[in-house]
Structure 1
Amino acid sequence: MPFTRYVEIGRVAMINYGKENGKLVVISDVVDQNRALVDRPDEVRRVVSFKRLALTDFKVEIPRLARKSVLKSALEESDAFNKFHASSWGKKLESRRAKAATTDFDRYKASVKKTQRGRAIQAAIKKLGK
């Protein structure tokens, strides 16, 4: 399968480093071979290194250096952020966040369920073996 995630105007990318880790942004312009100008409807436009961006499969049709209103309407029309959260990559990130937010008691309950499930599987295997 050929490579399809190119750095281009309108490409949705995820910031993969720093305090904004996990946030989705849209590439608004390419500054040079190492940096891009990224934008998000509720944040200030800024320059980010490509090393801190993970390109997604989603693209929004916007012109270069689009205004906030144009970006917001294009994101609403394409629904790119919601499509990302519905993809397997987005679901995996959400499950990681949910697991990191669990308490000791939640982890204990999960451990008990896992033990019960394992015992039920072993009992079923023994029953089939007889």
Structure 2
Amino acid sequence: MPATESNFKRFVEVGRVVLLKAGPQAGKIAVIAEIIDHNRAIIDGPTTGVPRQSFPYRHLTLIPLRLTKLPRAAGTGAVKKQIEAEGIVEKWEKSSFAQKRAAVEKRRSLTDFQRFVVMVAKKQRTDRVNKAVRAAKKA
């Protein structure tokens, strides 16, 4: 039987960059340094403030970034060197995934009045766009 292409693009592997969903470091990124078993991995985030620790997969989100030349069971120093060499933190901050998360967090932190101001600004923008479209149709 021929090998079929997998639907999955991100795998649990040494060097995979992950987003923490739970715990005191929730929202930060780290790297899988070693795989313990089917439920847990050792993660390390020396540049993002995540200490080296065992972490369950159910509290991780695999993101598309990965370190290419990270050996298995690499220490914190080696992980830090690789992260800085490949510019992982900068790539993460430029990614649409990270930007959407930041926008959602910003929206969640708005007060009632700030949400009102945003609503009024959206209405004004929509009005200007509609007027421009009507003018373009007439011309």
Q: TM-score range by the shorter chain?
A: 0.7 to 0.9
Counterpart of 1:114 (choices 118, 122, 128) is 122
Q: By how many angstroms is 1:91 displaced?
A: 1.0
Q: Distance in 1 between matches of 2:22 and 2:129?
A: 41
User: Hey, what does 1:23 align to over in structure 2?
Assistant: 28
Counterpart of 2:77 (choices 57, 60, 69) is 69
User: Hey, what does 1:84 align to over in structure 2?
Assistant: 92
User: Hey, what does 1:44 align to over in structure 2?
Assistant: 51
Task: State the Cα deviation string for residues 30-84 of structure 1 (Å, max 9, x = none).
Answer: 1111111111103321111111111111111222222222111110001112212
1:35 aligns with 2:43: no
User: Hey, what does 1:96 align to over in structure 2?
Assistant: 104
The size of the alignment, in residue pairs, is 129
Q: By how many angstroms is 1:21 displaced?
A: 2.1
Relative to the length of structure 2, the TM-score reads 0.80
Q: By how many angstroms is 1:85 displaced?
A: 1.6
Q: By how many angstroms is 1:90 displaced?
A: 1.0
Structure 2: runs of 5 or more not aligned? none
User: Hey, what does 2:15 align to over in structure 1?
Assistant: 10
Structure 1: runs of 5 or more not aligned? none
Q: Distance in 1 between matches of 2:124 and 2:70?
A: 52
Deviates more, 1:98-107 or 1:71-80: 98-107
